[in-house]
Structure 1
């Protein structure tokens, strides 16, 4: 039967120290692996939260974009209505500067109204999507 001394083929105390050092090294690796696993879990959870936030932002953006399209359509109708009103004005017997100025002023007012409403919609969109 083989004895312990035959198994180590050397000094048992030295071999025991080598084995203990190897055990400490392996314990350190296990601890490091556990820390890396916890870090990976935290990063995956953060990635899931970011994905959910992106989905919420995308949905909010799509709703806002749809609302802006609705507003643009409404503004287009208002502008068309304002321009239609301009065409309903009785034609001047002669193109007087006053009538021309009034038409241009009415057209400019209609366009200014559209610009203001688009700017307000754009500002709302900016406030929604910029933290």
Structure 2
């Protein structure tokens, strides 16, 4: 049967594993937060700048239908929001799936950590009782 030191070591490994998963979750949530809040603001800023550039170019080059048509067609090339951009939406979904997977792994590691801690406490008590029995003869 395993000794208390074995269970203590397993507890420490699982505790470290839980900490690693928590760090991973923090990083993934920062990325999701950036996708949800920072990126849309940047998209709006870029599109605003493009609108201004287009307006300035149209003012500078007048009476040229080819240029005007191309400048107006440029409207379709503006940055899209995350929900409209297929690649960004796919990326966001993949990150959300990874958050769910890591959360599940973290939960399993917490259960294992708690199990090994309980076994450590139990084994430590048994070892103490055995030691007292050997010392005082029982």
Question: TM-score by structure 2 length?
Answer: 0.47
Q: Which has the higher contact order (CA 8 A, sep 6+)?
A: 2
